Amino acid sequence: MKRQGNGNSYTKIISVTSGKGGVGKTNIVCNLAYCFASMGKRVIIMDADLSLGNVSVLMGMIPKYNISQVIYGDKQLSDIIMTDQNGIMILPASSGIPELSNLTEPQKINLMSRFDEFAGSLEAGGQPVDVLLVDTGAGISSNVLYFNLAASEIYVVVTPEPTSITDAYALIKVLSTKYGEKYFSIIINNVKSEKEAKDVYKHLSLVSDKFLKVNLNYLGHIISDDNLSRSVIMQRPVSNIFPDSKSSQCFKKLAYNILSQKDNKISNGNIQFFLNKLLTSLS
């Protein structure tokens, strides 16, 4: 991935989000992370579903610490980061911690400082981060909106279920009408064929074109198969344990498409800038 001439890394910061829960958002995040890592990219997953974080579960890992210890100043960010056997770093969420919108000013400053130190240590060690995947919660709560607004790219996961399409439209509507977001990439999950995925995208796109001034980019689709369900039970990415399955091939193509496209938002492309935008939006 492209590096800036001043030595700072360019990090592709992606929020993976949805209007409705249960659409396979976290599974997509974990599989994309594995595909990126297989392509030689350095990846961090930030579990931003602060009340129902499941990234560590789907990756078969048990976190000893979580972001609450960083917020309260008990741990460094490097203390809570988990790294799996493929080199994927995971920043685990926690249940029962205060909403980010309730952080005090000292807590915000402390969290920013911890991210600065962590990103600086990666740079000093010659290990810059290529992709930061932010797994948001579902819906239109303040936390979901905050993480999407801070990211460089917003990927909305949709399934063929009518409620999923309706809720995805609601999320896009809030982000566009209230916060001025104009660019969204769409991932269609749990489909039987590419045609079904394109039909879902067309339906969402037609409604958005009629009522909203936004740009919806069809990023890709994931075909559902039995191996995908097995991999969830086994707590491993399907791309890892069943690389030849239809769903795995979809994830590989999706990962390639993501790395091939440019970000829509203009930013300096680093983790510190992402967190600064996030904490600023909470003020």
Taking only the tens place, the pLDDT of each residue in 151-191 is 989 999 999 999 999 999 999 999 999 999 999 999 999 99
The DSSP letter of residue 81 is -
Mean pLDDT of the chain: 86
Nearest Cα residue to 257 out of 86, 45, 39: 39
Band the pLDDT of 123: cuts 50, 70, 90. Answer: low
Domains defined for the chain, CATH in brackets: 12-281 (3.40.50.300)
Q: What is the pLDDT of residues 81-108, one digit of tens each?
A: 999 999 999 988 876 566 666 677 787 7
279, two tokens: 């904490």
Per-residue pLDDT, 74: 84
Q: In 3-state terms, what secondary structure has residue 39? A: coil
Q: How far apart are alpha carbons 260 and 253 in whole angstroms?
A: 11
Give me the DSSP letters along 233-280: HHTS-HHHH-TTSHHHHHHHHHHHHHHHSPPSS----SHHHHHHHHHH
Nearest Cα residue to 156 out of 215, 79, 108: 215
Per-residue pLDDT, 255: 97
The continuous run of DSSP H or E covering 220 comes out as strand 215-223
CB 181, CB 149: distance < 8 Å:
yes
